[in-house]
Chains A and B, each alone.
Chain A
Amino acid sequence: MQVQENCTYMTSGAVMPFCKGCGHSNILKKLNEALGELKLDPKDVCLVTDIGCIGLTDALFDKVHTVHTTHGRSTGFATGIAVADKVLAEKRLKTIVLIGDGGSMIGLLHIVNAALMNVDLTVIVANNFLFGMTGGQQSSLTPEHFITQTTPFGNMNPSLDICGIAEASKAGFIARAVASDKDLSGLMAKAIQHSGFSIVEILELCTEHATKRNDLKGSMLAKMAEAEGHKLGILRNDVERREFSVKYAADVQSHLKEMKPPRFIEPIEGHKLKMPVGFIISGSAGERVQSSAGMLCQAALRCGLEVTQKNDNPVTQGSGFSLSEVIISPEEINYTGVSEADFVVVVSETGMKELKAQDIYQRISDKTVFIVDESIELDEVSSKVIKLPLRKMCGGDKASLGALDYVIRNYSLFDHEIFIKLLEKKFGEYSKIFRGEYYLDLV
């Protein structure tokens, strides 16, 4: 047990909760010194600790903000804190993650992503090559041949080079040190001072589990790392890369003018419907089926109707069928499916196949009107069937639009002019959107 005296950021007279000789004690002492060297206001420092012995740190630092988190996730929480501080608040905070070797692997993607984002935080990996708190089990940072509780005959895997991962993740400041290094506090101070993501891996001893099973002394740590191909010292110090909030200001906040607030429609009295009208519109992906249905809805909405548009497609959005069920109604619409269609629009064979799979013949009545492309084979039905050369006249990508325009034009559901206006806004002059024959009396 060691007692720390004259601490600025630590609890004065704090008793280290770690085993005798544990590297954590020294790392924390040096961290305290590093904060002192930087003369940081304690209220501008947040220690985010992970799970494991290193996670006991929060009770030792009673002057600074401490957030003790879940296993491996510390860097994730720290990212949220740091991004919010830098983008939304006063940009004062120094956010420091304390994580063990085990935590650094379970939470690896949080470290990688924080580095890619270049968030202003420092990750200190206290690497004692095993899970200390739970009994000395092998971690992903355990060196090859190292003996742990769960690798009694030596670790079969090489150890992960966490600094190498940080390098590949474009981290700006990367260093590897040994806990007993004379200038450890100076190194930590450099990392904390770095604007953007920094990581310091500190090699240390778990005196409870590592040194009892392996012939290991503190003086051997540097050699051991080198044997694994892991270099020591400051491995990168790139001050050119812009910290996240700086990049965010340049790349996103400078585009605010291009962002559009939600748009609204002012309805007119443009319909005489007394009952809801249900559409089932089916075709192939990539042929504007759902967007055409959307235009039908926009126009109906403008004419003062309630609308719902329920879309369906396979999980891949660009292939297979594309289907919309639309209801337009003078009253509130509850059930959003079309159980008995007034209009069924089918513009491709793929669309027909899907409709059959969805029991289309159970969802029609004598009053149903089919508007289908001439190429489509329908079963014998008692409904009215209108076959049109939609694909020829309108093209595949406007076949459903042509069919819907046909319905609105001929069945006076609502003001056709409104639909025309919408079409013209998107495709130019109405009379030129489809081929000439389309505009002749189609039936």
Chain B
Amino acid sequence: MQSLRKKVALRSGNQMTAEGAIQAGCKFFAGYPITPASGIYKGMIDMLPLNGGIAISSPDEISALTYCVGASMRGFKAMTATSGPGWALMIETLQYALITETPVVIAVVQRLGPSTGGATQGGQGDIMITEFATSGGYTIPVLYPTNAKECFELTLKAFDWSEKYRTPVVLLTDKEIGMTTESVNYAGLYELSSAERKNIRNSDADIKKWKMYGFDSPDMITKFANVGGEVKVTATGSAHNAMGYLKKNDKETIATLLHLEEKILAHKDEMVEVKKELQDGADTLVISFGITARTLKDAVKLAREGGRKVSSLIIYSMFPIPEREIILSCDNCTRIVVAEENISGQYRKLIEPLFAGKEVVGVNKIGSMITTMEIAERIV
């Protein structure tokens, strides 16, 4: 055990997100200050040049994400970070990254909303705006860590998915995870890696068949062409055919749009990240994510000490929703408790249809972290 503990450090989730991005091979970062996400920006400014990359300041959040998408189109892994108010501004460009199938990672460190809300207060209220931000309702993959170390791990995973599936990926965190510093044990972290981009080259055997946005099966992710590379790029944010030319409503164009969703669903089973702790005979399943998942652990421990049989499920891969894992976890339970720091139970409402015939209860609150007792009280 002692040797595993050799490397420890006091780090915030934001710092670990920056370090994770560097480990993933991120080479471009553009930032705009916003509490509670600025720590990622600062971390990248301080560390990225040392790792062969560049971190720059942008005049607003819209610029920040457009810079990143541009850099990614040029062939480099790119990331930006923001919080609710800045996220609202980035959504136009998020959709552009989605339709142009350009990999990019956006860290969204949630704070209390709506609007400017509370800059130094936490929150878990951006789940809906993150997932349903696109016209058309396309799935944006979202990962949500619960502590600083997982910020590192899941940032790598975010880059991994982003490159593998050619899609923007959101690393969702919150003020409490992003800004709280905590002990981090680095065991294993530097062994992690993330996928490299598959680029098309003139010498490739499939070059004749290759199209900018081509595919011949739902799970196919076509190779990427870098702007400035040897294969001509035709990228567009308008509905387009497989070649990348603006087209209105022909079959191929609609199929190309549908493929944006199909390709994610086809790989859904590889995108499951959850932690189950099922107890034999449990009639209650408690579900949470992010900062509240930590409280969930304490609450479950408390309930079990009190003789209750209870199972728990922590969800890291928020989207695509890990439906199968959720259904399997609640098998014999009659009562489902979903705890999240927002007023309306955003995630609970999304997963509720999976629990037909069961009682589904929310633990919701805004302004401060949900406490152990507040969850424990619902495990009746």
Contacts and interface: CB of A to CB of B under 8 A. Distances in A.
Interface of A: 42-44, 46, 56, 58-59, 62-70, 73, 76-85, 87-90, 92-93, 109-110, 112-113, 117, 248, 252-253, 255-256, 259-267, 294, 297-298, 301, 304-315, 333-337, 339
B227 interface: yes
A113 B58 contact: yes
A93 B372 contact: no
A243 B279 CA distance: 63
B49 interface: yes
Give chain B's interface secondary structure class: mixed
B66 to A, nearest CB: 3
A308 B238 CA distance: 47
A68 B8 contact: no
B250 to A, nearest CB: 15
Interface stretch (B131-139, B178-186, B267-275, B346-354): B178-186
A68 B246 contact: yes
A335 B371 contact: yes
Given A80-B67, A80-B78, A84-B70, A93 B227 contact: yes
Given A262-B19, A315-B119, A76 B369 contact: no
B334 interface: no
Interface of B: 5-11, 15, 19, 27-28, 30, 35, 46-47, 49-50, 52-54, 56, 58-60, 62-63, 66-76, 78, 92-93, 96, 119-120, 176, 179-183, 186, 227-230, 232-238, 245-246, 291, 294-295, 297-298, 368-369, 371-373
A279 B263 CA distance: 49
A261 B15 CA distance: 12
B93 A262 contact: no
Contacts of B72: 80
A307 B120 contact: no
A81 B227 contact: yes
Given A81-B71, A262-B9, A333-B182, A69 B232 contact: no
A199 B302 CA distance: 66
A389 B71 CA distance: 57
A335 B227 contact: no
B66 A76 contact: yes
Given A109-B60, A261-B47, A87 B54 contact: yes
B10 to A, nearest CB: 5
Nearest to B375: A335
A307 B182 CA distance: 5
Contact of B75 (A84, A260, A262, A307): A84
A436 to B, nearest CB: 32
B56 A83 contact: yes
A305 B246 CA distance: 59
A85 B247 CA distance: 30
Nearest to B46: A259
User: Which of B35, B71, B119, B227 has the most chain A CB within a 10 Å cutoff?
Assistant: B227
A383 B207 CA distance: 76
B54 A46 contact: no
A416 to B, nearest CB: 19
Given A73-B92, A261-B50, A310-B176, A266 B7 contact: yes
